[in-house]
């Protein structure tokens, strides 16, 4: 029996494959689209049974190629570019593909865990898994929202586990290929290495400079929730997947800057000291994001906890510090500024 991971060469998908390997599961079929070939490096350290292109995979399952051979599907594949303007592509890739996969899983009685997104909530301020709080600001969020509605309609008569995780702001190893859609921690690290400073947006929507708040969650905490669901097949539904804590972009920038400073033998500084030293710089808010930007997110974890999930989540200070150490270790020695 195989475990299938779609988006397997991507950020979260590759970390899930690695997590499955740690649990002793190597019969993994990795499904992805390697048009961006740089993603292959995320799978180099993983053990898989086979690799399939996303289009070939869907064709094969719908022709019965995997009937009776699949233990579970972890569907992480999607276009996650919130600035994507091609709505037809977004809906075909994120919504229609997911519907076809869900139909197959339900017909074959195969558990399906899938990636939803906190983007379904739009500007908030309430982040509870209820229809009245869902109002996406872009077509990416809408594609995730619409598939969630599909799942909700099928939950009462499901034939197998189906669970969606609304990821909040995920950061951590294996995201470099995402480019502009990589986390603020990744961008901040590279800015600090290249320019000696982390750049954040000036204040907006009533928040001070760098004071916008998000629920930043480490990718390996996300993996842990997925693996827990895989072990608890009685749990179905749609659940937030974040830390339950809103922290500022300033918190992330300070953790990045101080992490690099420490690697160079320099002292850690408070936020004010980093700003005074020019290690954090505030830049104009992009016109393209006006009306489409979440200035505040914080996962309500009540339903996930009620379902029985016992795990804890790293704070920004813990998770970003760990991430920066891994980024530093992967580079050549970093010279002092």
Name the residues annotated as catalytic.
Answer: 140, 178
What six digits make up the tokens of 100?
Answer: 């076809």
Residues facing 3 on adjacent strands: 28, 72
Give CA–CA dist 257/280, Å, rounded: 8
Kindly provide the residue ranges of all beta strands, DSSP E only, lying in 255-307, ordered along the sequence. 280-283
The CA-based angle 252-258-262, given to 5 degrees, is: 145
Cβ atoms of 242 and 299 within 8 Å: the answer is yes
166, 164, 173, 168: which is closest to 14 by C-alpha? 173
Please list the helix, strand and coil fractions of the chain in percent, rounded to the nearest 5, in that order.
Answer: 45, 15, 40
10 Å Cβ neighbour count for 194?
Answer: 8
**Please, is 322 exposed, middle or buried when counting C-beta atoms within 10 Å of its C-beta (0-12, 13-18, 19+)?**
middle
Beta bridge partners of 50: 29
Residue-level length of the chain = 337
CB 215 within 8 A of CB 118: yes
Enter the tokens of residue 135: 């109002």
Q: Is 251 exposed, middle or buried (0-12, 13-18, 19+ CB in 10 A)?
A: buried
Closest CA relative to residue 253, chosen from 274, 230, 231: 274
CA neighbor of 182 nearest in space, from 216, 212, 157: 216
CA dihedral 315, 249, 78, 96 (to 10 degrees): 110
d(CA 20, CA 18): 5
């Amino acid at each position: 029996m195989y475990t299938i991971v779609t988006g397997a060469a991507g950020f979260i998908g590759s970390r899930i494959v690695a997590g499955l390997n740690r649990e002793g599961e190597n019969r993994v079929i990795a499904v992805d689209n390697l048009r961006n070939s740089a993603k292959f490096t995320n799978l180099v350290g993983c053990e898989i049974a086979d690799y399939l292109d996303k289009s070939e995979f869907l064709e094969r399952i719908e022709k019965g190629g995997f009937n009776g051979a699949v233990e579970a599907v972890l569907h992480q594949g999607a276009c996650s570019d919130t600035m994507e303007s091609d709505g037809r592509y977004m809906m075909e890739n994120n919504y229609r593909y997911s519907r076809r996969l869900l139909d197959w899983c339900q017909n074959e009685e195969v558990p399906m865990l899938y990636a939803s997104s906190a983007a379904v909530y739009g500007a908030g301020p309430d982040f509870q898994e209820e229809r009245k709080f869902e109002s996406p600001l872009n077509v990416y969020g809408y594609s995730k929202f619409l598939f969630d509605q599909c799942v909700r309609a099928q939950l009462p008569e499901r034939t197998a586990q189906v669970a969606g995780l609304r990821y909040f702001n995920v950061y951590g190893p294996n995201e470099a290929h995402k480019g502009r859609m990589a986390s603020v921690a990744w961008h901040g690290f590279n800015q600090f290495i290249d320019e000696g400073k982390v750049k954040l947006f000036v204040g907006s929507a009533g928040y001070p400079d760098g004071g916008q708040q998000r629920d930043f969650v480490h990718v390996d905490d996300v993996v842990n929730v997925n693996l827990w669901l895989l072990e608890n097949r009685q749990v179905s539904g749609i659940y937030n997947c974040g830390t339950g804590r809103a922290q500022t972009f300033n918190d992330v920038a300070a953790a990045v800057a101080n992490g690099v400073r420490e690697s160079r033998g320099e002292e850690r500084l408070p936020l004010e000291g980093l700003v005074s030293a020019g290690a954090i710089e505030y830049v104009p808010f992009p016109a393209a994001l006006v009306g489409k930007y979440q200035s505040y997110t914080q996962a309500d974890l009540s339903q996930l906890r009620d379902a029985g999930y016992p795990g804890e989540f790293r704070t920004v200070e813990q998770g970003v510090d760990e991430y920066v150490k891994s980024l530093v270790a992967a580079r050549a020695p970093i010279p002092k500024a």
